[in-house]
Amino acid sequence: MTAFTYEPRATCICGARLIPTALAIRRAFAWGSACFRRCEACGSYVQAPQIDRVSLQRWYESDAYLSGATAYSNYLDDEASRRDEARGRLERDLRPFLAAPRRILEVGCATATLLNMLHQHGHLVTGVDLSARFAERARALYGIPVIASDFVEAALPCNSFDLVLMLGTISNLANLDAALAKVRSLLAAAGTFHFNFPRADSLTARLYGSRHWMFTASVSAFMTFEGCRLALARAGFHIVSAAIDVQRPSVGKFVAFSGLRRFADAGQRSRTPFPFSMPIPGVWWVVARPI
């Protein structure tokens, strides 16, 4: 048993100063609390003070976390379902950008399911993930090289990627400014940055209120669209397209995130892919380019 350690945080992802008294949502865990403040300028919720990434990583590898009933506790067993999801992502969202062989970086690539598929389609792929466990699994399953590192610290060559992808990752980045600056430095001319994120200014967010799944230890910023736009602009990006995200989750993930948890089935059935892809309310898919 141990405890979270924290880093102070004075500014929002949009650049505005956080007011210490601004609305705080506190979520308690065995190791301590995650505390969110609402930015008065853009409406995003940012974790402040922020649980430092080293203690957070230890938490995700701890028995206290792994023994809890969480949506991702069986992540490593969900590979088949993620393959279906990756196929949909490639066909639906990435195909227009893949007319010729591309150099693709995925940040937070987990077991490299999507990267493997892109590799099979003739693209040159690189992955980065904080988790050494996922990096090992990616190598064992697919032979895809994954750098087990914090993205900002990962050694990667500048101007050398045509696409940078972040799926379910951007809201978790501890230092969004530094991460976006890094994405910009890594992109080659005419490169594009693709990511999804749950919006704090969506109807879903309003319905869930303080019970929203984004108020958790791993989330650094639960962004509004305006907060996201401003963070991108500050890093030298403009948004090319933004639309509701379409995913094909596993039945288990769908149940966990739809608030129907009490009907959840922990067995094999929860790992089967949902029968069709669907728009995910409150989650957006964004493509951005350097200005």
**Is residue 146 at the binding interface for Zn ion, with CB under 5 A as the rule?**
no
39 versus 48: smaller Cβ distance to Zn ion: 39
Q: For 289, phi and psi rounded to 5 degrees?
A: -130, 150
On whether the CB atoms of residues 283 and 196 are closer than 8 A, the answer is yes
Interatomic CA distance for residues 154 and 83, integer angstroms? 26
176 versus 187: smaller Cβ distance to Zn ion: 176
**Is residue 18 at the binding interface for Zn ion, with CB under 5 A as the rule?**
no
**Interface stretch with Zn ion, choices 40-48, 167-175, 191-199, 254-262 (CB under 5 A):** 40-48
**Interface stretch with Zn ion, choices 36-44, 54-62, 105-113, 239-247 (CB under 5 A):** 36-44
Interatomic CA distance for residues 179 and 235, integer angstroms? 9
> Reduced to 3 states, what is the DSSP secondary structure of residue 274?
coil
Give me the least distance between CB of 12 and Zn ion, in Å please.
Answer: 3
**List 4, 9, 12, 114, residue binding Zn ion (CB under 5 A):** 12
**List 24, 41, 152, 239, residue binding Zn ion (CB under 5 A):** 41
Interatomic CA distance for residues 100 and 97, integer angstroms? 8
Give me the least distance between CB of 37 and Zn ion, in Å please.
Answer: 10
> Reduced to 3 states, what is the DSSP secondary structure of residue 217?
coil
**Is residue 165 at the binding interface for Zn ion, with CB under 5 A as the rule?**
no
Location of structure tokens 């003070």: 49
By CB under 5 A, the residues from 174 to 233 that bind Zn ion are 227
Interatomic CA distance for residues 228 and 240, integer angstroms? 13
**Is residue 14 at the binding interface for Zn ion, with CB under 5 A as the rule?**
yes
**List 34, 35, 42, 251, residue binding Zn ion (CB under 5 A):** 42
**Is residue 39 at the binding interface for Zn ion, with CB under 5 A as the rule?**
yes
**Interface stretch with Zn ion, choices 13-21, 103-111, 170-178, 185-193 (CB under 5 A):** 13-21
Give me the least distance between CB of 42 and Zn ion, in Å please.
Answer: 3
Cα 132 from chain centroid (whole Å): 17
41 versus 156: smaller Cβ distance to Zn ion: 41
Please report, as ranges, the residues that interact with Zn ion according to CB under 5 A: 12, 14, 16, 39, 41-42, 44, 227
